[in-house]
């Protein structure tokens, strides 16, 4: 594979269909901006139904032979791909840092996470456990094995581009499916880079394709096409509902990994220094562009002012920019930036919130792109719009709570149920909290975010529809169980 470095962006980032880079059939493209400078970085092929059709046709044609390939061989291809990613960590990390607008140290860490996931999933090729069980019928054995689902449509967000690709591509391919991915329009090149790596590792053409472009034009046709057996989506609740409705109508399997409004509870017995450090990381790392970011900080009244002082002090020291000594970069695009600023202004003007920090765009010689200052609000009612909706940016709010009972009530009184964290010195409080939180992930004395390749991630209510990725639980998304009975006749021995 030719080295593709961030500085040599192609003029147009193309689709990847049937093992080749191709332009859109209509030869159209859209601009892609650099989040750090706001300038046009490149253009992206503008996919439409005709491009999606071509990718689906290639997937349908090749999927049976990929499914018939021994799973250990499939896993070896995925392991080789992971080795290539590992050997080119710097190259892909530079691409991600540039197109997503983040410090290189952050994109390197994300590349590391994608690599770990790759090795974990490749290892599943030699496990891939089914079940053996009993049968009520004499002389009959009963086993349960996995089979591929078929053709998968994978639609992803831009926040951690390479892990987002890896979370879906690795398990989908391991399980013997062909897949068509619709990368986020803001991070097209990292996905294309990965598709080229898969080919270099030996993946047959057509098994993994990419259609670039806008969600309504390049994503929706995947959702609507009856040849796509499974839709797996990471993104916003609104689009998730659309996918569930449309793909659900034809009874396709639908896996949704959606948003969060993740609470972090600070008890009166917490180590406040430590808790404030984790709260800062939860709220502001990756510019708050995490489904699991800590956007509601619930603090026991008796330590509210003390915690607020420490937290504010730490947040004020955060360095905004993309150099390696910076703590957070820009948000991904201008639309998101404007939406965040409007929502914060409304929270203050309409809902009576007090702005403790930020609430504005950072613009100067070194920050010409989509920078939002770390923003902290208080005096916001738990029922206010901003307490109940996600902003996906470096914005958090502080809420006083009387005690653990009230905190747990507020944690659970939310449209979302992705992650929840508590800071306490009491194992009793921590255990009670972990047991009663209605969320997919609980963190004790740590951040609201953080996931490992072998652990399931996902949430309740508007955070998803019950599936979990990654972990071995991801295999349940990308495979179907098959029950096999074998009857034998002792008379014929």
By the criterion CB under 6 A, which residues form the site for ligand NAD?
155-159, 182, 184-185, 214-216, 219-220, 223, 234-236, 239, 242, 257-260, 291, 390, 392
- Catalytic residue, chosen from 99, 116, 257, 390, is 257
**Shortest Å, Cβ 232 to ligand NAD:** 11
**Shortest Å, Cβ 328 to ligand NAD:** 16
Shorter beta-carbon distance to ligand NAD: residue 206 or 235: 235
**CA–CA gap between residue 185 and residue 214 (Å, rounded):** 6
Shorter beta-carbon distance to ligand NAD: residue 47 or 374: 47
Instruction: Output the residue with the shortest Cβ distance to ligand NAD.
Output: 215
**Shortest Å, Cβ 107 to ligand NAD:** 16
**CA–CA gap between residue 295 and residue 1 (Å, rounded):** 41
Shorter beta-carbon distance to ligand NAD: residue 253 or 314: 253
CA separation (Å) from 151 to 138, 169, 176, 348? 38, 12, 9, 47
Q: Judge whether 117 and 450 are in contact, CB under 8 Å.
A: no
Q: Return phi, psi of residue 40, to 5°.
A: -70, 125
**CA–CA gap between residue 372 and residue 349 (Å, rounded):** 19
- Catalytic residue, chosen from 217, 291, 390, 469, is 291
State the Cα angle at 126 between 125 and 128, rounded to 5°: 65
Shorter beta-carbon distance to ligand NAD: residue 142 or 214: 214
Catalytic (active site) residue 255: no
**Shortest Å, Cβ 339 to ligand NAD:** 9
**CA–CA gap between residue 24 and residue 12 (Å, rounded):** 10
Catalytic (active site) residue 257: yes
**Shortest Å, Cβ 155 to ligand NAD:** 5
Sign of the C-alpha dihedral, residues 172, 173, 176, 181?
positive
Query: Residues 6 or more apart from 81 whose CB is under 8 A from it?
Result: 118, 194, 197, 198, 200, 201, 203
Burial class of residue 446, CB neighbours in 10 A (0-12, 13-18, 19+): middle
Shorter beta-carbon distance to ligand NAD: residue 236 or 426: 236
- Helical ranges in 379-480 per DSSP H: 385-388, 404-412, 427-436, 473-478
Q: Judge whether 156 and 184 are in contact, CB under 8 Å.
A: yes
**CA–CA gap between residue 297 and residue 284 (Å, rounded):** 13
Shorter beta-carbon distance to ligand NAD: residue 102 or 314: 102
**Shortest Å, Cβ 257 to ligand NAD:** 3
Residues designated as active site: 257, 291
């Amino acid at each position: 594979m030719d080295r593709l470095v961030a500085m040599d962006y192609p003029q147009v980032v193309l689709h990847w269909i049937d093992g080749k880079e191709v332009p859109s059939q209509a030869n159209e493209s859209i601009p892609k901006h650099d989040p750090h400078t706001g300038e046009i970085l490149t253009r992206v092929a503008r996919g439409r139904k005709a491009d999606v059709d071509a990718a689906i046709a290639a997937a349908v044609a090749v999927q049976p032979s990929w499914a018939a390939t021994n799973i250990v061989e499939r896993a070896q291809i995925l392991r080789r791909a992971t080795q290539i990613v590992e050997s080119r960590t710097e190259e892909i990390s530079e691409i991600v840092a540039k197109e997503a607008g983040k410090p290189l140290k952050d994109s390197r860490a994300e590349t590391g996470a994608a690599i770990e996931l790759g090795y974990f999933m490749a290892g599943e090729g030699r496990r891939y456990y089914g079940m053996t069980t009993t049968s009520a019928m004499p002389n009959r054995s009963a086993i349960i094995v996995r089979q591929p689902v078929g053709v998968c449509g994978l639609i992803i967000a831009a926040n951690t581009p390479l892990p987002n690709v890896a979370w879906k591509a690795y398990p989908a391919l391991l399980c013997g499916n062909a897949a068509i991915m619709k990368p986020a329009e803001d991070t097209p090149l990292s996905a294309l880079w990965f598709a080229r790596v898969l080919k270099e590792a030996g993946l047959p053409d057509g098994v993994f394709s990419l259609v670039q472009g806008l969600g309504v034009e390049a994503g929706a046709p995947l959702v609507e096409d009856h040849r796509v057996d499974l839709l797996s989506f990471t993104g916003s609740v609104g689009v998730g509902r659309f996918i569930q409705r449309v793909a659900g109508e034809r009874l396709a399997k639908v896996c949704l990994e959606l948003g969060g409004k993740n609470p972090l509870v600070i008890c009166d017995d917490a180590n406040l220094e430590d808790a404030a450090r984790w709260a800062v990381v939860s709220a502001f790392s990756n510019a708050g562009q995490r489904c699991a970011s800590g956007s509601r900080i619930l603090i026991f009244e008796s330590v509210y002012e003390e915690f607020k002082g420490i937290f504010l002090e730490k947040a004020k020291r955060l360095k905004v920019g993309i150099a390696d000594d910076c703590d957070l970069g820009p948000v991904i695009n201008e639309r998101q930036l404007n939406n965040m600023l409007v929502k914060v202004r409304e929270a203050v003007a309409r809902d009576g919130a007090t702005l403790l920090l930020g609430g504005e765009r950072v613009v100067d010689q070194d920050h010409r792109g989509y920078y939002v200052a770390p923003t902290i609000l208080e005096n916001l009612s738990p029922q206010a719009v901003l307490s109940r909706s996600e902003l996906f940016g470096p914005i958090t709010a502080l809420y006083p709570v009387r005690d653990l009972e009230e905190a747990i009530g507020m944690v659970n009184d939310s449209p979302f149920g992705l992650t929840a964290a508590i800071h306490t010195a009491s194992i009793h409080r921590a255990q009670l909290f972990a047991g009663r939180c209605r969320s997919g992930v609980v963190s004790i004395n740590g951040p609201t975010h953080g996931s490992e390749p072998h652990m399931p991630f996902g949430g309740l209510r508007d955070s998803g529809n019950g599936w979990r990725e990654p972990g071995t639980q991801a295999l349940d998304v990308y495979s179907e169980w098959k029950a096999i009975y074998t009857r034998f006749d002792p008379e014929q021995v």
